[in-house]
Chains A and B, each alone.
Chain A
Amino acid sequence: MMARRALVTAAVVLTILSLASTALAQTDCTKLVPPSPWGPNDQTGATNRVTPAVTKAAAAEIQTGKITTMSYPLTDGVPLFGTRFTKTILTAVSLAPGASFGENELTYMEDTWLSQSHVGTHLDGMGHIGRKDCYYNQTPMGKFINQNNMTKLGLEHLKSFATRGVFIDAVRVFQQGGKFKGNSACKKPCLDKGTVITSADIQAGLRMYNVTLREGDIVIIHTGWGDLFEQFPAQNAVYNSGAPGIGKDAANWLVSQKVVAVGTDTWVVEVIPGENPKEAFIVHNILLTDNGIHILENVRTDLMAAEAASSRRATFFFNMTVPKAVGLTGNFVAIDAIQ
């Protein structure tokens, strides 16, 4: 009896100690990340703004039916961030003599795709970026991960991206503003790495095509830097060495406009090197962690820049689907601009 009581007591003490140490190890996420405007259980973020009314209004952008692709080819050898990799392996065994099926001699092929999710033209989900262990909507992510995926904030919680796309030609904004500084590695005009795109630049880009942002829009910015992506693998090192992009002021302004996502033709959307050398990818924190606004990277923008310049239209129906990939932090996507 005594031994049993001692065991129970020890178990209680151990439980209390372990709970206490766990509590001490966790960050108070209410102090690091703001709450979601869509409530404490929200895992969806800014796609909450894509309401039926928003989608219906966006559908009015389809006037000629012309489609402009905004995705780069997803293939081995394109620039990849850090140690990321992608590799495809083709399975074609049924092409071997005698391996076809039935009298109709059916053959088949399929692929094994070994790839990290944030490659090529891709979407950053809410589980991608946090402050310490705190993610979107004050989520203490340490409690919601296992060996394979997240159990909260995965892509499966996102709503549709069927909304209006708004195109900003930052290259032309900088050219017309007399402050364009390019990079000699680009074959077409591109803003140099480290070029900060401000809220004033974005607003100048909107005025250029007489556009006013609406709640629920997706903003795509053409910097020209994607020209280096197109030259893969020759300019991969230059492409990854930095990028033109939005600064904190522009990010905060876009937040105030209640957009759904922001994309550019760079690997990072934000300016690199950043405005403060001691801050790391701070725009990612502002958009994703604090506001649930998605980031779209390596978006192909040169075709749309040409289209907007010739048609004088910088708005379009944003056609992009994201797989319901459970517990993933992001995924490659295909984007079409339909006008």
Chain B
Amino acid sequence: MMSPTPAGPRGRRRRYVHRPRPAIVVALLLVVVVLAAGLAAPVSGQRRWVVAFANVTEEPGVTLEGTGFTGPEIRESFTLAARPYPMDLVFYDNHRDDTRAVANAEDAIARKVDLYVQYHRGPDANAAVGEKLKAARIPVLAVNYPVPGAPLYTIDNVAAGRVAGEALAAFATRTWPGQPMVAVVIGRVSAAADRVPERVRGATEALRDRLPAARVTALDTQGNPAQVAPLLGAFLSAHPSRKVLIAATDDSTTLAAKAAVESAGRVRDAAIVGHGVDRTIHGGMNDKKEIDPTNRNSIVIGSVAFYLDRLGYEVLPLAVRMLRGEPVPSRIVTAHKLITAANVFIEYPPYDMN
């Protein structure tokens, strides 16, 4: 604050003299301190966070969580989702290996990252990673598999299965009221490591709740889509006069099931809902897509979205909240949604024009 000095008795020109007052000096110092702290915070753009993401695997061709999504797709989603934030990403590949997972965390500690996102199945390794990072005072965010003491973002297989079962039941009630029907859940139904049995349970429970008269059968392809045709073909032959509701555990099984139904000449008797919504089923602008606004009469009603290709967009906002010291829930689940010909372009607007 500047204050004018009164004119002297001889009419000398006014001189402006700096007369600091203690309270004002303290206030100014506080302002400087606050501003400096603000500038140092990452939100100001002056300091960038370093966030590590340890992916479960980036091995080409390996699909994750019983869906068609791959590790590189998940990594790419983190790269894209990080763009608005003052954030640099460090990527690790856990290679589905406990030793590697722990070594990756140790490397991140040495790098002094600000936050660690851990996507790994092994509970022992996750516990060790959690302990090491806690000792280093680096917050952890777990993806799909818990790390003790860390918030968990995860897909919800039971909920996804319920969405599929309810969609099939709603279709059957609307389209085939009073007609005899059976239901089948087909795919890698026993793949416990990928928690597919939870998906099967959700679908089965929803079908039984909504259609108590319909018997639900599980057919295990053990991950081999070539097994869909013989298994489903036999099932269709055994139920020649019934409508058949098919919950496929993933999109490749969905497409194989559709082919099997067509081969059996039972298109009028079947409806299919899949899980995942990977690119094999929604594709790009010019791909031939099963779920497409111009293909509304398909017996594939839709597929339940797992959004693993958008995992980064779900996880990084949580990471930012943690970095800002804001609370996050201990468990956050994917909002699974049925993707159909009516909403696929809303949920997955095509942008790659090849």
Q: Which of A's residues lie within 8 Å of B, judged by CB?
A: 81-83, 194, 196, 237, 240-242, 267, 272-275, 277-281
Contacts and interface: CB of A to CB of B under 8 A. Distances in A.
B329 interface: no
B99 interface: no
B83 A241 contact: no
Interface stretch (B15-23, B102-110, B295-303, B344-352): B344-352
Given A82-B286, A241-B352, A277 B83 contact: no
Given A241-B352, A280-B351, A196 B83 contact: yes
Contacts of A274: 351
B352 A240 contact: yes
A196 B84 CA distance: 9
Nearest to B45: A200
B132 interface: no
Contact of B310 (A194, A196, A272, A277): A277
Contacts of B285: 82
Contacts of B350: 280
A194 B79 contact: yes
Contact of B351 (A83, A237, A272): A272
Interface string B64-107: 00000000000000011001100000000000000000000000
A82 B79 CA distance: 26
Contacts of A242: 351-352
Given A82-B285, A194-B80, A280 B349 contact: yes
Q: Looking at chain B's contact residues, is the secondary structure mostly helix, strand, loop, or mixed?
A: loop
A267 B84 contact: no
Contacts of A275: 83-84
Contacts of A237: 354
Nearest to B309: A277
A272 B348 CA distance: 14
A278 B351 contact: no
25 contacts: A81-B353, A82-B285, A83-B286, A194-B79, A194-B80, A240-B352, A240-B353, A241-B352, A241-B354, A242-B352, A267-B353, A272-B351, A272-B352, A275-B83, A277-B80, A277-B310, A277-B313, A277-B349, A278-B347, A278-B349, A280-B345, A280-B349, A280-B350, A280-B351, A281-B349
B283 to A, nearest CB: 13
A81 B351 CA distance: 10
B338 to A, nearest CB: 16
Interface in B278-312: 285-286, 310
A267 B286 CA distance: 16
Contacts of B351: 242, 272-274, 280-281
B77 to A, nearest CB: 8
